[in-house]
Structure 1
């Protein structure tokens, strides 16, 4: 007689949502900027920092190398490196690039934003809890 195996079967892991994605316009602009850079870079680093009148600001910068804990996203031929402390603030964000008669800029469409300042330079973001609910 064989012993009964009472251990529960391991659960399949849910697929993780992509932290950020790019519109075609944003990907085109990033490829253009990276192609003109003075040296090759590992990707575009995206993060969030404290500042501005609404409390937080988005950060975009060249990344020479991926950090050990960076979330690496490949989208439309562009490598995006998300700072570890920014992941829960950025889940579900779509980065776009808009051009108007007076300006051109990257725009973040972040479902976690709860407020933005009038000048458009800073936002308030509620981080997503690890179980997928707002914290």
Structure 2
């Protein structure tokens, strides 16, 4: 795993303050874990996002220390698809959800579960 200093101008995936606070809450009950972001082939349009809380990432993951509590691991094999993505936590009514703002997305399925980049 390669470790890089947090530099918002170079980070391949950015995290909003709301998403960072959400990840902090999630990790507070899971000491020693990190947030890992990747994509997998799925759905009717091609890809879906995957967020896991992991003790250790893949050897090829990029690692960003967002603050003293949150380490973000990014799957290097997903970079072509998610590079430039912003991860946000949004509240709509009583529901909260992680939202991915990905400039590479060209099409999305009707339910919002999968997307394509070509």
| Cα pair 1:21 1:75 within 8 Å, conserved | no
Q: How many residues align?
A: 109
Alpha-carbon RMSD: 1.7
> Given the two structures, how large is their TM-score scaled by the length of structure 2?
0.83
Aligned-residue offset at 1:64: 1.0
Matched residue, 2:6: none
SS in 2 for 1:29: helix
Aligned-residue offset at 1:125: 2.2
> Given the two structures, how large is their TM-score scaled by the length of structure 1?
0.74
Unaligned runs of 5+ in 2: 1-8
Matched residue, 2:3: none
SS in 1 for 2:27: helix
Higher strand fraction (1 or 2): 2
| Cα pair 1:17 1:91 within 8 Å, conserved | no
2:29 to 2, 18, 36: 36
Unaligned runs of 5+ in 1: 1-15, 127-135
The structure whose RCO (Cα within 8 Å, separation 6+) is larger is 2
